[in-house]
């Protein structure tokens, strides 16, 4: 890892580049360079052994110019304020690039869920929800799952908030269990969006999906579902990895068997997975494999100035948020690597979160087929718009995505003006 890496600086750099092309002044973008609200909370929890431990948590609302703040809750030992600020800002521009009426927010708790019992995770969730309750709600800020959290955690958040309000509030979070108003198709939505985007970029570059070689870093919700769906499309997944390391087979991995193994127990890791013909590789080695498509679906800053020159993939589809540091972006662009940016590639999750929220506040229910069709009807035109504006400006896809997103956020801010 590089030292002194601040992901929020990545955000500011690309926003400034887009603003310059759009002809905005410093004054036009000054407000969106600063998060609207930053909340830090202490979360005291009675642990299973009877001791009390105080965890630290955050909720940040970057922008509500275009609608309520929207963004996940991350439970991870490396959570920090700058990371959450960056993730909140990415959500602002992610919602803008696919043109759904949300702003951006994000939250996190510094903890390691793998070392905690279900009782302890539930206690952290409930106390954290209570602490951020003044900031959240269906009309102001709607959390969702992220790294280290899932539908179960969202169910606990919804219940805690509802108990505090004295009545059931389905729309306070998205990514909930179906029984609590969750949307059909939400669990697969981010991975499905990454899959649609991967197919779109391959089509634009005149490449067939069949037998296209792919490496996926990270086998959490997003990475595993992306691997599953790309495998179904006929692509050859030759490497996958998780926190324990990676596995590689140049002839292609048995993705269904891998997913079945990982789903049996949340403590199952790839380091213990056995399959004929596989080689053990590190996460670093996976990133440097000679593949057509690389999909980083883990954490930020995985591709940085230290390893960018060794990246051999022709196309990188950012399933994670901020997996490529800005210095690495410059190196990869100079090499001709095509990068589909996170705010476009992984927007499927927030799009279907929007669908879930709409269903909750209107008390309606859509079929999974309808949700998937609506997702495609948003993701495909968003990709086409980003591709077109990138071509017109002879710019990268990342710059193209921010040209669209920054314009929408700035124009919304201008239309509302500054109060008072």
Catalytic annotation, residues = 106
d(CA 41, CA 22): 38
Contact predicate 311/332, CB 8 Å: yes
- Sign of torsion, CA 159 163 164 170? positive
End-to-end CA gap in the chain: 44
Read off the tokens for 335. 């090499």
CA dihedral 349, 127, 122, 359 (to 10 degrees): -30
For 148-192, the DSSP string reads T--HHHHHHHHHHHHHHHTS--GGG-SS--GGGTPPTTHHHHHHH
Round to whole Å and give the CA distance between 170 and 182. Answer: 8
Q: Whose CA is closest to 303, among 286, 280, 278? A: 286
Q: Which residues pair with 110 in a beta bridge?
A: 76
Using CA atoms, how far apart are residues 121 and 115, in angstroms rounded to an integer? 10
């Amino acid at each position: 890892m590089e030292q002194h890496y601040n992901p929020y600086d990545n955000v500011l750099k690309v926003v400034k580049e887009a603003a310059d092309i759009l002809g905005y002044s410093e004054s036009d973008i000054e407000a969106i360079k600063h998060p609207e609200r930053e909340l830090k909370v202490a979360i005291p929890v009675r642990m299973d052994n009877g001791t009390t431990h105080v965890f630290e948590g955050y909720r940040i609302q970057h922008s509500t110019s275009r609608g309520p703040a929207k963004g996940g809750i991350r439970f991870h030992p490396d959570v920090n304020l700058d990371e959450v600020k960056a993730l909140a800002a990415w959500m602002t521009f992610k919602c803008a690039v696919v043109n759904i009426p949300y702003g951006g927010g994000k939250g996190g708790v510094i903890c390691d869920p793998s070392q905690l019992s279900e009782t302890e995770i539930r206690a952290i969730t409930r106390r954290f929800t209570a602490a951020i309750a003044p900031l959240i709600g269906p009309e102001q800020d709607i959390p969702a799952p992220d790294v280290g959290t899932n539908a179960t955690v969202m169910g606990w958040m919804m219940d805690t908030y509802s108990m505090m309000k004295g009545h059931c509030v389905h729309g306070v979070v998205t990514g909930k269990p179906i029984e609590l108003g969750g949307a059909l198709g939400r669990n697969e939505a981010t991975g499905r969006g990454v899959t649609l985007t991967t197919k779109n970029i391959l089509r634009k570059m005149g490449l067939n999906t069949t037998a296209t070689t792919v490496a996926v870093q990270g086998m959490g919700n997003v990475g595993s579902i992306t691997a599953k769906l790309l495998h179904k499309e006929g692509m050859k997944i030759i490497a996958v990895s998780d926190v324990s390391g990676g596995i590689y087979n140049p002839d292609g991995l048995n993705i269904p068997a891998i997913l079945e193994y990982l789903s049996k127990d949340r403590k199952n890791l790839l380091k213990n997975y056995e399959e004929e013909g596989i080689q053990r590789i590190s996460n670093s080695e996976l990133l440097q494999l000679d593949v057509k498509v690389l999909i980083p679906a883990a954490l930020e800053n995985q591709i940085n100035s230290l390893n960018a020159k060794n990246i051999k993939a022709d196309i990188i589809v950012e399933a994670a948020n901020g997996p490529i540091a800005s210095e690495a972006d410059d190196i990869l662009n100079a090499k001709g690597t095509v990068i589909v940016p996170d705010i476009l590639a992984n927007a499927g999750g927030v799009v279907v979160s929007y669908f879930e929220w709409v269903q909750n506040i209107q008390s309606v229910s859509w079929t999974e087929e309808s949700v998937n069709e609506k997702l495609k009807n948003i993701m495909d035109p968003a990709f086409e718009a980003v591709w077109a504006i990138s071509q017109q400006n002879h710019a990268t896809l990342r710059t193209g995505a921010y040209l669209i997103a920054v314009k929408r956020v700035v124009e919304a801010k201008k239309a509302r003006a500054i109060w008072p």
